[in-house]
Amino acid sequence: MEQPLDTIDWGRTEYEDAFERQKALVDRRRTGDAADTLVFTEHAPVYTIGMRKGADQHLIWNEAQLKAQGVSVIHSNRGGDITYHGPGQIVGYPIISLQERRDLHAYLRDLEQVVIRTLATFGLETARRDGKTGIWLGERKICAIGVAVRTWVTYHGFALNVNPDMSHFTGIVPCGITDGTVTSMQAELGETIDLGIVKARLAVEFQKVFRNTAAPL
């Protein structure tokens, strides 16, 4: 019988610290010392620059502006362009073994489906957008996705805008988007959303979508 999916909430973290903790968890998953795990966290304000060519050109704010706003800048080994992480945004890091189905494209589609199904429970009809990563409401991006894999164990993941400070997105060209914008659950629903409720629903939908690699609860 497959091990059930574990869910861990790290609370507020610095991006670099969370990255080191992810790598340690990846190693434990590789050796079988940990089950497939979905990690939740909120990062201190940070712009992370992914592996996409030219991503660093999408940073708008200068050093003085970054310091004034309390936002750091870090290069990451995840896929994708530049994005923002900060309080009020749920970051999900699935540490999952793909040994039984070595298909990263299918994994990404499943990860997107988790978020789409979660947002549907809040009355938000989101979708994928042709040629773009992440989850969208029309031309408004509500969730960024950037993943990596190491010996067929996944890390990095998704960043869902629940109640973040949206002004921080003005310091970058978010994900290199030139034909759209970013949004949040709070902006779309007109009220502050309880992060705990969203995390709980994400965990439920994650279990449903990934039931082929994690045993039912």
Q: What are phi and psi of 136, to 5 degrees?
A: -130, 150
Those residues whose C-beta lies under 8 Å from the C-beta of residue 75, and which sit 6 or more positions away, are 48, 49, 56
Task: Enumerate residues 6+ apart whose C-beta is below 8 A from 107.
Answer: 96, 98, 101, 147, 154
Among candidate residues 175, 177, 182, 202, the one labeled active-site is 175
**Residue 173 CA from chain centroid, whole number:** 17
Would the CA dihedral through 28, 34, 36, 41 be positive or negative?
negative
The answer to whether 143 is a known catalytic residue is: no
89-95 and 153-161 as β-strands: parallel, antiparallel, unpaired?
antiparallel
Residues with catalytic function: 175
